[in-house]
Amino acid sequence: MMSVSLLLLTIISLFGISNAADEKSARLLISKTILNEALVSGKDLTIHYEIFNVGPSSATGVELSDTSFRISDYKHISGLSKVRWEHIGASSNVSHTIVVRPLSPGAQNITSAHVSYIAIEGEPPVNAYSSEPGEYYIFPEREYDRLHSSHWIEWAIFAAMTLPSIGMPFLLWYRSRSRYVDQIKPKKH
């Protein structure tokens, strides 16, 4: 009887301790978003990370690592793929942005970034994953330019090229016409 009660007490205490531990631990939520409206091969792609600490205590030794942009498929333009924050306070957040350039067109699955952090001091690091942007289609540069570029220089050159074909015949006709219309005007008066 005594041993059963002791066992129950131990279990309840452990439960209490773990609850107390949860109350003191940091909890990070990570979002990973693509800031571009369109993903185009050969054009910059901006990825934004935000880490929110929704727990009651600070997270320490926060390490963000994103291996989803392989060197074979993307050129890294700016920002580090591996970042470390020593301390993220309770109810605060940090953000990080990287810029990469897709090297070839096609469908790409952009997966989560990995974060490890110490939720409770003295405890081993906790693993967490960001939101997953998912599947995107990377447009070929030519196709994108065809749809979105204003091409105003090309249009200006086109206008300049067509001007002689339209302007000159009109001018020549108009000159002759004016001459003969003017001829009969004095007669009308």
Partner 1 sequence: RVHGKSSALFYGNAAIVSAIPIWIFWRVHEMDLKENAPLFAVCTLLVTFLVAFAYKNSKFIFKHKIAAKRDAAINYEITKKIGDDKRVTKKEKEERVLWKKNEVADYEATTFSIFYNNAIFLLALLFISFMVLSNLSPMLNYSISMLSAAGLIALLSTGTKC
Residues that bind partner 1 (CB under 8 A): 142-143, 145-146, 151, 154-155, 157-158, 161-162, 165-166, 169-170, 172-173, 176-177, 180-181, 183-184, 187
Tell me whether strands 134-138 and 74-78 are parallel, antiparallel or unpaired.
unpaired
Residue 89 or 164 with smaller CB distance to partner 1 = 164
- Is the Cβ–Cβ distance between 59 and 118 less than 8 Å? yes
- Are 61 and 83 within 8 A, CB to CB? no
Please tell me the distance from the alpha carbon of residue 114 to that of residue 58, in angstroms, as a whole number.
Answer: 19
Q: How far is CA 98 from CA 31, 82, 161, in A?
A: 14, 10, 44
Longest dimension (CA), the chain: 136
131 φ, ψ (degrees, to nearest 5):
-70, 155
What is the Cα–Cα distance from 66 to 31, expressed in whole angstroms? 12
Q: In the bound complex, what is the minimum distance in angstroms from residue 49's beta carbon to partner 1?
A: 35
Compare residues 13 and 176 and give the one whose CB is closer to partner 1: 176
Smaller CB separation from partner 1, 129 or 155: 155
Q: C-beta of 171: minimal distance to partner 1 in Å?
A: 8
* Nearest to partner 1 of 73, 141 (CB atom): 141
Nearest distance in Å: CB 108, partner 1: 22
Q: Please, which residue, 18 or 162, has the CB nearer to partner 1?
A: 162
> Number of helices and strands (H, E) in the chain?
3, 10
- C-beta of 30: minimal distance to partner 1 in Å? 39
Q: Could you tell me the smallest distance in angstroms from the CB atom of residue 40 to partner 1?
A: 13
Count of alpha carbons within 13 angstroms of residue 129, beta-carbon side: 7
